[in-house]
Amino acid sequence: MKRELQEIWVYLAANPLLWLTVTLVAYQAGLWLYRRLGCRPVANPVLLAIILIGALLFATGGSYDDYFAGAQFVHFLLGPATVALAIPLYRQFHRVRRAALPLALAILAGSLSAALSAMGLAWLLGASWQSVISLAPKSVTTPVAMGIAEKLGGLPSLTAVLVILTGIIGASLGPWVLRLARVRDPRARGLGLGVAAHGIGTAQAFQAGEVTGAFSSLAMGLNALATAILLPLLFRWAGW
Amino acid sequence: MLAALTLLLLCQLAGEVIAQLSGLPLPGPVIGMVLLFIGLVIRGEVPAALDRAARGLLDHLSLLFVPAGVGVVLHLTRVGDEWLPLSAALVLSTLLAIVVTGWVMQRLGRPAADEPKP
């Protein structure tokens, strides 16, 4: 009996169906737990799902390669989802045009300060160069951040983890630090959350109101664009 | 649904081709996003089928981050060795970026008459 079970496991573990299903089930479990804990940003469903799947891989001795062979069908959808971000961007276009210049300057300032301060701090505190590069696009939405990290010579999979942690930090501490800095304009609050904490910050911003959320999703899209253009140029110019 | 998904994939594919041919330092999906945005501006509305398909994807956007996030198991030793620089960089730089962005926008952008005053 035990032998048969083991044979079934060996067969399933080599099959995309198992890890694809595990991914969906773990995410639903993460969502359930997140709601159970009162929707606190710290109990982020993505983080919970990652911990659950990581623990399962450890317990069964499975490799990330085996896991990813199944889960890549979910991962693949990040591409079309990024393209689909054009739709909320288009819907907010009238608001954007009205405040185009201050908005562009704010996003530029935020994009550069996010990337440069993260790289500088990590470098000063003794992180390896590869980690420093992988940190650079940490405020950008995952699919784009992974693309940027790959182009710069970082580790896309490390970047993905850092991006998700950044989103959780920004969403949970962002409202507090904005109050401390006396930023009260809902558009400005939304831009801050979207630039620094991408989709996870945007989910938090929508809880504060419609305008905050709209500007946050806009900031997420424009920051992705700004960082994807600026960072490779900066790296080429600095000769890194 | 099928037509909308095809359109999204076509935009992404065109984005990848443009990125390869031009050598632009941009990921293909981002160029695809710009292409779709231009298309929407030209058309002047979001087709209902495209809206439904996009909503299906964007409503569960965070699920799509899970496979890449599980990659942390590959980097557990690195994260363990470099936990101080990594966590200091993540926390401080994220808070700095939020404040800098919000502050610049509040300073430079006066709200329009019909928008809520801060």
Of the pLDDT bands very low, low, confident and very high (cuts 50, 70, 90), residue B84 is: very high
Residue found under tokens 């929407």: B40
- Distances, alpha carbon A169 to alpha carbons A102, A200, B2, in Å: 26, 9, 37
| Cβ contact, residue pair A110, B104, below 8 Å | yes
Question: Can you give the pLDDT at residue A1?
Answer: 65
Question: What percentage of chain A has pLDDT greater than the value 90?
Answer: 49
Q: Is A101 exposed, middle or buried (0-12, 13-18, 19+ CB in 10 A)?
A: exposed
Q: How many CB atoms lie within 10 A of CB A141?
A: 28
What part of A 17-46 touches B (C-beta under 8 Å)? 23-24, 26-27, 45-46
* Cβ neighbours of A85 in B, within 8 Å: 33, 58
Portion 49-88 of B in contact with A at CB < 8 A: 50-51, 53-54, 57-58, 61-75, 78-79, 82, 84-86, 88
ipTM: 0.85
Task: Please tell me if residue B13 touches chain A, with a CB cutoff of 8 Å.
Answer: no
CA distance B52 to chain A (A): 11
Give me the residue from B5, B63, B68 closest to A160, CB to CB.
B68
Cα diameter, chain B: 54
- Average pLDDT taken over every residue of chain B: 87
Contacts (Cβ under 8 Å, ≥6 apart) of A183: A189, A192, B99, B102, B103, B106
Sorting pLDDT into bands at 50, 70 and 90, what band is A2?
Answer: confident
Contact residues, B window 85-114, toward A, CB-based 8 Å cutoff? 85-86, 88-106, 108-109, 111-112
Q: Per residue in A113-133, pLDDT tens?
A: 999 999 999 999 999 999 999
For chain A, the straight-line distance linking the first and the last C-alpha, in angstroms and rounded, comes to 58
Q: Do residues B16 and A83 make contact, with C-beta atoms less than 8 angstroms apart?
A: no
| A80/B12 touch (CB, cutoff 8 Å), yes or no | yes
Q: Does B1 touch chain A (CB under 8 A)?
A: no
**In chain A, where are the structural domains located?**
2-76, 84-238
Q: What's residue B89's pLDDT?
A: 96
How far is the first Cα of chain B from the last one, in angstroms, to the nearest whole number?
41
pTM as predicted = 0.80
Across A170-182, average pLDDT: 93
C-alpha dist (Å) from residue A216 to A190, A232, B110:
4, 24, 17
Residue A90: pLDDT band by 50, 70, 90 thresholds?
Answer: confident
Residue A145 one-letter amino acid = A
Spell out the residues 6+ positions from residue B17 whose beta carbon is closer than 8 angstroms to its own. B28
| Total Cβ atoms within 10 A of residue A32 | 12
Q: Which amino acid, A108?
A: L
Q: CA-CA distance, A13 to A63, in Å (whole number)?
A: 10
Q: Are residues A67 and A53 in contact, defined by beta-carbon separation less than 8 angstroms?
A: yes
The pLDDT assigned to A45 comes to: 84
A138-159 tens-digit pLDDT: 999 887 898 889 889 999 888 9
Query: Do B78 and A128 count as a contact with CB atoms less than 8 A apart?
Result: yes
